[in-house]
Amino acid sequence: MQRTGFASLPLHGGKAPSWLTGRMRKLAKEISAIMIDEHGTGTFLARLSDPYWFQAFGCVLGYDWHSSGVTTVVTGVLKTALSAQEHGVVVCGGKGKTSRKTPSDIMETADKFGFSENQIQRLTYTSKITAKVDNSAIQAGYQLYHHAFFITEDAKWAVIQQGMSAADRTARRYHWMSDTTKNFIVEPHNAIVGDTKRPLALNMTAQSSEACRKTSVDLAKEPTKKLMNLAQTVTPPPQPNQKSLQNWLPTTGNAQKVAILNMPRNINWKALGEAYETQPNNYEELLSIKGVGPATVRGLALIAELVYGEKPSWNDPVKYSFAYGGKDGVPYPVNRKAMDESIQILKETVQATKVGDKEKARALQGLRRFVPLDA
């Protein structure tokens, strides 16, 4: 079952201290080894793709349960703790500039696992398209700055990436997994975890955005001059007694809403020129064209809606909270069964690890912080 939700992840600056990351690495290695030995790499990826388990895992390793840093630190620790030879799992990419090294990391991993050229190309493409989707197809004010790409020896994959909102200093985490992602475009995530449910967010991955996606592709196949003219009809220059089509857009006093509903000025016409030359067959092909970013995606979506009546989804894809207030059913109920299962799995795994009693006690104490006292 796929889970989509949001959690409170306040943005924390600085670095995790070396004394902590050293212990986290040791414990992460033991827990991962036991889980992989008992259940296999596929189940291990499934656990990492579960937002409850991942959050609880961060607590076991001793990190703040509600910090945005749990994403970057835990995946960073796993990158150094896991090895191709011992675990059959490798982590590529990482935070900031390190994320740009993902293609070269994939090449190194392919050499270790003996992947074919076709597998290398597919994994590299998967890394790029998942980042493109979360940075462009879903627009809720978050810019990706972290991309961790997990690969197993049988070429299965998982993605854990995170975006930051500079406006309110919150983070949003995206979980992907090969076993549950049947389509890169239509509701592909295993989970989306964030701090704030936006009143308005462009979600081109929603099932209800299908007609808008098709119209966007059709528009991209048109000459750029025609698209420019259409964009101008949506946002004409101010003239006496002449109204813009934006007069019929939902009224709002929220700056984020205004920004997302306005026709962007920085549409990449060169990229749309390439789209016209290549004639993409579907939305995934359109999105994969270099230069087709958030502004271009939003511009096509607005033209599709305002000129042709094909509306995209403006509903933020996050669904519930399990980090604050959720235990009381506010704003949404916690999936207690899922949380309990995650906690129990980690408790049993920690008890089975080879680390000392002090490390086990510290890990279980950290996990206890994830559980409401009156749960």
> pTM of the full predicted structure?
0.81
For the CA atoms of 354, 360, 363, 365, the dihedral, rounded to the nearest 10 degrees, stands at 170
Task: Specify the pLDDT at position 4.
Answer: 44
Q: Are residues 193 and 242 in the same domain?
A: no
Res. 143 pLDDT band, cuts 50 70 90 = very high
Task: Specify the pLDDT at position 137.
Answer: 98
Q: Look at residues 259, 283, 306 and tell me which one is the last residue of a structural domain.
A: 306
Q: Are residues 291 and 325 in the same domain?
A: no
Res. 18 pLDDT band, cuts 50 70 90 = low
Confidence check: pLDDT of 13 > 70: no
Is 289 contained in some domain? yes
Q: Are residues 246 and 191 in the same domain?
A: no
Q: Are residues 178 and 231 in the same domain?
A: no
Q: Look at residues 257, 273, 306 and tell me which one is the last residue of a structural domain.
A: 306
Give the chain's domain count.
2
CA distance between the termini of the chain: 23
Res. 144 pLDDT band, cuts 50 70 90 = very high
Q: Are residues 50 and 154 in the same domain?
A: yes
Widest CA span of the chain, in angstroms?
Answer: 78
Q: Please answer whether residues 297 and 139 qualify as being in contact, where contact means their C-beta atoms are separated by less than 8 angstroms.
A: yes
Cβ within 8 Å of residue 226, ≥6 positions away: none
Task: Specify the pLDDT at position 61.
Answer: 78
Is 12 contained in some domain? no
Average pLDDT score over residue span 136-153: 96
Average pLDDT score over residue span 238-245: 51
Q: Which of 20-24, 108-112, 157-161 has the lowest mean pLDDT?
A: 20-24
Q: Which of 85-99, 255-269, 290-304, 344-358 has the lowest mean pLDDT?
A: 344-358
Range of the domain at 358: 18-198+318-368
Is 251 contained in some domain? yes
Confidence check: pLDDT of 104 > 60: yes
How far is C-alpha 12 from the geometric centre of its chain's CA atoms?
Answer: 19
Is 6 contained in some domain? no
Confidence check: pLDDT of 238 > 60: no
Task: Specify the pLDDT at position 152.
Answer: 97
Confidence check: pLDDT of 172 > 80: yes
pLDDT digits (tens, 9 = 90+) for 365-374: 666 666 654 4
Is 231 contained in some domain? yes
Is 274 contained in some domain? yes
Task: Specify the pLDDT at position 195.
Answer: 72
Average pLDDT score over residue span 104-125: 97
pLDDT digits (tens, 9 = 90+) for 315-368: 999 764 434 333 334 334 445 566 566 667 767 776 767 767 667 766 666 666
Q: Are residues 81 and 103 in the same domain?
A: yes
Q: Are residues 193 and 215 in the same domain?
A: no
Kindly state the percentage of the chain with pLDDT values over 70: 72
Q: Are residues 174 and 136 in the same domain?
A: yes
Q: Are residues 211 and 76 in the same domain?
A: no
Q: Look at residues 275, 306, 337 and tell me which one is the last residue of a structural domain.
A: 306
Q: Are residues 329 and 362 in the same domain?
A: yes
Q: How far apart, in whole angstroms, are the C-alpha atoms of residue 24 and residue 28?
A: 6
Task: Specify the pLDDT at position 305.
Answer: 93
Q: How many other C-beta atoms can be found within 10 angstroms of the C-beta atom of residue 308?
A: 15
Helix 41-48, helix 18-39: angle, nearest 10:
130
Task: Specify the pLDDT at position 374.
Answer: 45
Q: What is the mean pLDDT of the chain?
A: 81
Confidence check: pLDDT of 276 > 70: yes
Res. 263 pLDDT band, cuts 50 70 90 = confident
Is 164 contained in some domain? yes
Q: Are residues 254 and 191 in the same domain?
A: no
175 or 60: which carries more pLDDT confidence? 175
265 or 8: which carries more pLDDT confidence? 265
Q: Are residues 164 and 211 in the same domain?
A: no
Is 375 contained in some domain? no
Q: Which of 3-7, 99-103, 116-120, 347-351 has the lowest mean pLDDT?
A: 3-7
Q: Measured between alpha carbons, how far is residue 249 from residues 243, 260, 263 in Å?
A: 12, 11, 12
